[in-house]
Structure 1
Amino acid sequence: MSAASASGDPSAKHTKRRPRFVGWRFVLCALAAAVILAALVRAFLFDVFYIPSDSMQPLLEPGDRILVSRTAYDTEQIQRGDVVVFDGRGSLAPLHSGRPAVADAAVTVGRWLGLAGSDTVYVKRVLGVAGDHVSCCSDGDPRITVNGTPVDESYVYPGDTPSDSAFDVVVPDGRLWLLGDHRSVSADSRSLLGAPGGGLISTERVIGRAERILWPLERGTSIDRLSLGAEWNTEK
């Protein structure tokens, strides 16, 4: 037995424990790097959103997690038929939640982890882009028309009518007309008729395009881009 061991030299014990401490430090640094990388990816490339409601059935079910491309519209235009995620503050949601800051932080963490939805972020389908004349339910015709042409909406929730309220709008530059697929329960552009902005959502509020259902695994599938009259000429 060495003199250092026999005397209970604390420096010897410290030397023995150092590798374990270094190992934990490495693990913590690796975890921190992974979190930072994930945050950067989700902030600039792709994000994951939790679906809290049934407003986009049958395409999206409550509890689904969807992958959203934040760069989808960096090189192309938003098209009719796209399913987009957008910040609804100032339109479908109040600018301020009214909750304490701690509660807001908890909601943000839950949304980031994919465990909860957001009360300011929405997912809807684009029915009208800049220059489009979108209307419904006039002259006894129950269909939605874009620039005078009826839209084939076989994707709408079975049994729903195209809209339970009439509307007739022309979409200005920088705005979108958005509807949920489950029309009878969806709060969308129709909910803001008569309000400032008239239900037209700013393109600057669009976070990205929904690309795929990630969870549950048995529902995992890509979210197709529907071509809703991409060939139609817009009215001037």
Structure 2
Amino acid sequence: MPAQDGGRGEGPGGAEPGDGESRAPRKPRSFWKELPLLIGIALVLALLIKTFLVQAFSIPSDSMQDTLQRGDRVLVDKLTPWFGAEPQRGEVVVFHDPGGWLDGEPTPSQNAAQKFLSFIGLMPSAEEKDLIKRVIAVGGDTVECQKGGPVKVNGKTLTEPYIYPGNTACDDKPFGPIKVPQGRIWVMGDHRQDSLDSRWHQELPGGGTVSNDEVVGRAFTIAWPLNRLDWLGVPDTFDQPGLSAMGTAAPAAAGLVGAVPMVLWRRRRKLLQAQVKAQSPVAKG
């Protein structure tokens, strides 16, 4: 008699007793049944990307020509601000209306399809009143521009090849010198004679500056149309030596670094003097 171990044996063909015939291969789910799930996953990913990573914005005006043209679509980095990154000089940034900048501007209407695409981040929302400008100065900087002259930041002249051909740096609206408060930025459009930027809102709270908290993110590339595909880098003039303002924290840090060796030297000198004094015959007597 065959030995039995009380376990589950296998019948002919590998089928288990009681299972009857071999199990039929599982029938793949219909594509049309999976389609709603795929769409749902795609929408969730699109919303997450829009909220935390990248969002598309449309250029509605000529204020950033020739860098940006009306109708261009730019991609905006929304991730780095989550990690504490702040706007830097020379960057092109999108920011919410600080209050009063877009008063009187009409809100364009959108159909249902456009509203849906705006919701998932594939189109800009007409209800969000956002602006796009170039950061010229950041908190702690002193910025100015006199008629007939260039823009200066902390006394350094900016060479601005991005200014719209035929425009002056600020002849239509000279300003400054202005000290930019900490946590805020001074912004200007590249099409200087067609940009209602920081210069034109100095009577509002903030004196024409924009809070860093209002900045949505940095526009880093032109994504559409394809023949306009380009990277939005920081011009070399913002990398010139000595441009950064020497704020209160910098001198304090420099003073601390310089003071540490002096304190250590004085302490070592006192210890040596004490040792010499302790070893002298007068001190022992």
TM-score by length of 1: 0.79
Q: How far off its partner does 1:126 sit?
A: 0.3
Q: Is residue 197 from structure 1 mapped to residue 206 from structure 2 by the alignment?
A: yes
Aligned 1:54-69 pairs, distance under 5 A = 54-69=62-77
Aligned twin of 2:182: 173
Instruction: Check whether the contact 1:55–1:186 (CA below 8 A) recurs between aligned residues.
Output: yes
The AA in structure 1 aligned to 2:37 is C
Aligned twin of 2:150: 143
Report the CA distance shift for 1:225/1:110 in structure 2 as closer, same or farther (over 3 A): same
Instruction: Check whether the contact 1:129–1:171 (CA below 8 A) recurs between aligned residues.
Output: yes
Q: How far off its partner does 1:76 sit?
A: 3.9
Q: How far off its partner does 1:185 sit?
A: 1.0
Q: How far off its partner does 1:160 sit?
A: 0.7
Q: Which has the higher contact order (CA 8 A, sep 6+)?
A: 1
Match of 2:47 among 11, 14, 39: 39
Match of 1:158 among 165, 185, 201: 165
Instruction: Check whether the contact 1:147–1:235 (CA below 8 A) recurs between aligned residues.
Output: no
Instruction: Check whether the contact 2:56–2:124 (CA below 8 A) recurs between aligned residues.
Output: no
Counting aligned pairs with the same residue, the percent is: 37
Cα RMSD, aligned residues only: 2.9
Structure 2 unaligned runs (5+)? Answer: 1-26, 248-285
Instruction: Check whether the contact 2:173–2:200 (CA below 8 A) recurs between aligned residues.
Output: no
Report the CA distance shift for 1:98/1:161 in structure 2 as closer, same or farther (over 3 A): closer
Secondary structure of the corresponding residue to residue 131 of structure 2 = strand
Secondary structure of the corresponding residue to residue 186 of structure 2 = strand
Report the CA distance shift for 1:226/1:104 in structure 2 as closer, same or farther (over 3 A): farther
Distance (whole Å) between structure 1 residues aligned to residue 231 and residue 106 of structure 2:
36
Q: How far off its partner does 1:108 sit?
A: 5.2
Distance (whole Å) between structure 1 residues aligned to residue 49 and residue 59 of structure 2:
20
Report the CA distance shift for 1:227/1:75 in structure 2 as closer, same or farther (over 3 A): farther
Q: How far off its partner does 1:33 sit?
A: 1.2
- Bigger CA radius of gyration: 2
Distance (whole Å) between structure 2 residues aligned to residue 85 and residue 182 of structure 1:
16
Instruction: Check whether the contact 2:55–2:122 (CA below 8 A) recurs between aligned residues.
Output: no
Q: Is residue 24 from structure 1 mapped to residue 35 from structure 2 by the alignment?
A: no
Aligned pair count reads 212
